[in-house]
Amino acid sequence: MKKIYCKNCGRELSEDDDFCPNCGSKEKIIELKLEDEAQSYEQIGLKAKENGAKKPFQESVSGDDLYRKSGKWCDKETKIDRKNDSYREIIKDKTTGEIIHKCEEPLSKHKGHGSAKHKKKSETNED
């Protein structure tokens, strides 16, 4: 669904890769595969990076996302602000604009971003 490539050499990277292990480039392309189209996003956060910092201090990604709970395509916006220790994730219904999931918490308390692990069961009310 989500793939990250080196902009320079095209090598596939993981979300945690700070730079390409192959060519050392810091520019990444994030590709989100949708049903019948492919959209490319450049990670804005990479431009808001300070010298010597391990990770960009601000990242923001928004786009279509298949919300697994409902099986519907939704509009997902994620904002990470490492300077202000803030993590925000909002998922909206594409047709009604209704917020169906919202997560706002200190980044230091937010774990598991980008991985398959969801430790918080309370976030996913199964019904």
The neighbour count for residue 117, using CB atoms within 10 Å, is 9
Q: Output the smallest distance, CB 25 to Zn ion, in A.
A: 5
Residue 27 vs 81, nearer CB to Zn ion: 27
Under the binding rule (CB under 5 A), the answer on residue 99 touching Zn ion is: no
Per-residue CA distances from 91 to 56, 88, 95 (Å): 23, 10, 12
User: Can you give the three-state secondary structure of 11-71, one letter per residue?
Assistant: CEECCCCCCCCCCCCCCEEEEEECCCCEEEEECHHHHCCCCCCCCCCEEEEEEEEEECCCC
Binding to Zn ion by CB under 5 A, coded x per residue (else -) over 17-36, reads ---x-xx-x-----------
Task: Compare residues 23 and 34 and give the one whose CB is closer to Zn ion.
Answer: 23
Our CB check for Zn ion shows the closer of 4 and 100 to be 4
Residues 65/73, Cβ–Cβ less than 8 Å: yes
In whole angstroms, the minimum distance from the beta carbon of 9 to Zn ion comes to 3
Task: Pick one of 5, 8, 18, 63: the residue that binds Zn ion (CB under 5 A).
Answer: 8
Q: Using CB under 5 A as the criterion, which residues of the chain lie in contact with Zn ion when the complex forms?
A: 6, 8-9, 11, 20, 22-23, 25
